[in-house]
Amino acid sequence: MSETVVSINQAKIYQGNNLILDDVNFTVQKGEFVYLVGKTGTGKSSLLKTLYGELALQHGTGSVVGFDLKDMDWKKVPFLRRNLGVVFQDFQLLTDRNVHENLRFVLQATGWQDERLIEEKINDVLDKVGLKSKGFKMPFEMSGGEQQRVDIARALLNSPKLILADEPTGNLDPETSDEIMQLLIHIAKDYGTAVIMATHDFIVINRYPSRILKTEGGKVLDSGAL
């Protein structure tokens, strides 16, 4: 029995008073890898922001990792985000501390207190992204690809059921993009973590074909529904 991680039905997505996307319907299952594509300004970012609670869902229904988006308020958003991993294009690592301390900061901020468990978790996620020996490094000492791996490790800290990756290969060379893609696909397949990846990179999509959600003309078109 597959587990539904994201379910959006008859949703209207607004940015302020502007209707950006209308009648949005899609589901994402556990361990599924889905691309989110669309030209700039067609609602890709608005859709992502709705999924992680930055934009309120005003019309329709939506649930993400068991949280009701209609019922979301500022008090509940942190709990939603603890069950999500978000990976950014620009890494957003804390530049004044090493990799290990970056990860420790997130765990402590989300309520972890047991030092032994914190250490185990940090070692576990660094191992998953192939950086087990790099915990002592400062972000500026690392390549773009390594920093993106740290960002993915950070997204895995709270064992999320869903990772939202916003242009994770946008600033990387083709070879490094390949490594990051293989890592994200591996996380989906081997750990059962659903991944929704926003991208403009059609070379990546052609090389690693998967289901596509496309924002176009105020709609979300789903290749999986064709």
Residue 144, domain member (yes or no): yes
- The secondary structure of the chain in percent helix, strand, coil, rounded to multiples of 5, reads 40, 25, 35
Do both 130 and 205 map to the same domain? no
Do both 103 and 211 map to the same domain? no
Confidence at 99, pLDDT banded by 50, 70, 90: very high
Residue 89, domain member (yes or no): no
pTM of the entire predicted model:
0.92
CATH code, domain with 212: 3.40.50.300
What are 150-192's pLDDT values in tens digits?
999 999 998 999 999 999 998 889 999 999 999 999 999 999 9
Query: What pLDDT is stored for residue 37 in this prediction?
Result: 96
- Average pLDDT (138-154) is 93
168: CB partners within 8 A, 6+ apart: 87, 88, 89, 148, 151, 152, 180, 184, 197, 199
- Average pLDDT (128-152) is 93
What's the total number of domains in the chain? 2
pLDDT above 60 for 47: yes
CA Rg, the chain, in Å?
A: 17
The whole domain housing 132 covers 95-159
